Amino acid sequence: MSEKIGKVSADEARSIEELAAAALATENPSVPAVEGPDDPALRREVFDLHVIGAGGARAVRVAREDLERHPAMAQVRRAIIRARNRAGGGYFSWSNVGARLAIVYVALMLWMTYLTVSETRNLSRMQREAERIEATVTIRYGKSGYDKYKYIKVHLIPTGRAQGVDAKIADSLSAENWSAAKPGSTVRVWYHPVTGKTYLEDDIQRNLRDHTGFDIFSLIFSGLLLPLIVFFSRYRAGAYPDGKEFLIKGDRVTLDGKAMPFSDSELLAVRALIRLAS
């Protein structure tokens, strides 16, 4: 793989130069010959070390499978990989795949924290201020209790009012209570006179007992994603001029976007179909 390292410190550059000089001296350097089109060496993965100085160009070539027998070359390779990673921003740069996952993880955790705090405050406010009254079911909408668009509408008369109020209940509506809420039946509800939010009493009481379950989900989510962040922190992402990306581990391309069996437009079409289906 051929890739520019970028800017490195003077001390690190000097250290790499010393390692390269030691490798050249150890490996009895010579400029590799240019292979012909049918040369088997073209089908082998090799590491080339080129140094251009006052004495001219010197180079060493070592096949990957022979690298263990050339410790000086292996040491230069490791030093160059470290320098490339640091020059690219290390573990905290956008090119680091683990850092990208970490950004997604932090954003999702902040969003889940916001939802948890909002839900907790809403439940607490309902518990303090809501009226507990009887209501009559007027409409039940949905194909079943597991329809994500299901809801019921109820008619109730708040305390101190002469006229009734029609309220829609969709949030936290359980499948069992939806099935039991037949039009004309009477249900117990919690109604907030300021916000108009209305819940079935059984459902909101269950939420008050179980609202810590969202924290358990966060722990499960963290347990799944944090190992992936650590694993992919060893990978960096590069990009071709046309925007196609490739993954690099050390000094090798492990996943090339141009080698994928589908184009970007086809991938976008598949994503759009998945969203429509969901």
Architecture of domain 111-213 in CATH?
Answer: Beta Barrel (2.40)
Instruction: Provide φ and ψ at 72, rounded to 5°.
Output: -65, -45
What single string gives the DSSP state of each residue in the chain? Answer: ---------HHHHHHHHHHHHHHHHHT---PPPPPPTT-GGGGS-EEEEEEEETTEEEEEEEEGGGGGG-HHHHHHHHHHHHHHHHHTTGGGSTTBHHHHHHHHHHHHHHHHHHHHHHHHHHHHHHHHH-EEEEEEEEEEESSSTT-TT-EEEEEE--TT-SS-EEEEE-TT--HHHHHH--TT-EEEEEE-TTT--EEEHHHHHHHHHHTTHHHHHHHHHHHHHHHHHHHHTTEEEEE-TTS-EEEEETTEEEEEGGGSSS-HHHHHHHHHHHHHH-
User: Residue 135: pLDDT band by 50, 70, 90 thresholds?
Assistant: very high
Residues pairing with 156 in the sheet: 165
272 has a pLDDT exceeding 60: no
Instruction: Write down the pLDDT at residue 188.
Output: 95
Instruction: Write down the pLDDT at residue 199.
Output: 94
Q: State the angle between helix axes of 97-129 and 213-232 in degrees (0 to 180), rounded to the nearest 10.
A: 170
For the ranges 10-14, 47-51, 64-68, 95-99, the maximum mean pLDDT occurs at 95-99
For 249-260, write each residue's pLDDT tens digit: 666 666 555 555
Contact 231, 200 (CB under 8 A): no
**Domain segments of the chain: what residues?**
10-87, 111-213, 236-278
